[in-house]
């Protein structure tokens, strides 16, 4: 148990930012992102005993995160018609430099465009944007490396067109 805790904490320290960003792609608000992230961590912790080491711990964690996020998205879609969502307003000091504003606009546009993708493409590009190699993405999603490469090229094209429409 102590060994599992050490492995979990070490892997979490190394991958928590990436896992959180994946959660934010599948959530509607920052509060949902936090809740989803916690849910992912609970699932990872509960599954620690099943980690066999056939892949890297990060690959294994990303697979769990994507599965939890996809289940969340499915549940959210079912309840979306029954509730009216009131989003909170977030105000932050993003800086006043022209370059920062333009970069923030591009990041916001990228996030909007990624959220428009279908679930499969969203999973692939989320992992790609986190810097994972094609091999790691293929291991996580169970697709061939060549298929991942083709999909990423197509997704990049979709995102490029979407971002240009927004900006």
The predicted-structure confidence for 85-115, as pLDDT tens digits, reads as follows: 434 333 333 344 455 666 788 888 999 999 9
Domain of 143? 97-167
CATH of the domain at 135: 1.10.10.10
CA angle 138, 65, 17 (to 5 degrees): 100
Residues of the chain with pLDDT under 50: 81-97
C-alpha span between 167 and 137 (Å, rounded): 30
Residue 51 lies in a domain: yes
Residue 7 lies in a domain: yes
- DSSP structure string for 82-150: T----PPP------S-HHHHHHHHHHHHHHHHHHHS-HHHHHHHHHHHTT--HHHHHHHHT--HHHHHH
Q: What is the pLDDT of residue 77?
A: 60
Residue 16 lies in a domain: yes
Question: Based on the domain organization, do 142 and 101 belong to the same domain?
Answer: yes
Last residue of a domain, one of 38, 67, 87: 87
- The pair of three-digit structure tokens given for residue 47, joined into one six-digit string: 């599954």
Q: What is the pLDDT of residue 79?
A: 57
């Amino acid at each position: 148990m102590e060994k599992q805790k050490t492995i979990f904490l070490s892997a979490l320290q190394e991958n928590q930012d990436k896992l959180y960003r994946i959660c934010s792609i599948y959530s509607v608000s920052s509060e949902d992102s936090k809740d989803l992230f916690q849910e992912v961590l609970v699932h990872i912790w509960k599954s620690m005993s099943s980690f066999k080491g056939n892949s890297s711990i990060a690959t294994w964690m990303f697979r769990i995160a994507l599965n939890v996020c996809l289940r969340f998205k499915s549940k959210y879609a079912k309840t979306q018609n029954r509730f009216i969502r009131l989003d909170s307003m977030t105000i932050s000091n993003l800086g006043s430099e022209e370059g920062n504003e333009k970069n923030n606009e591009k990041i916001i546009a990228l996030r909007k465009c990624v959220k428009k993708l279908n679930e499969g493409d969203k999973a692939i590009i989320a992992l790609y944007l986190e810097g994972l190699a094609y091999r790691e993405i293929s291991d996580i999603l169970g697709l061939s490396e060549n298929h991942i490469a083709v999909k990423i090229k197509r997704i990049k094209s979709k995102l490029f067109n979407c971002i240009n429409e927004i900006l």
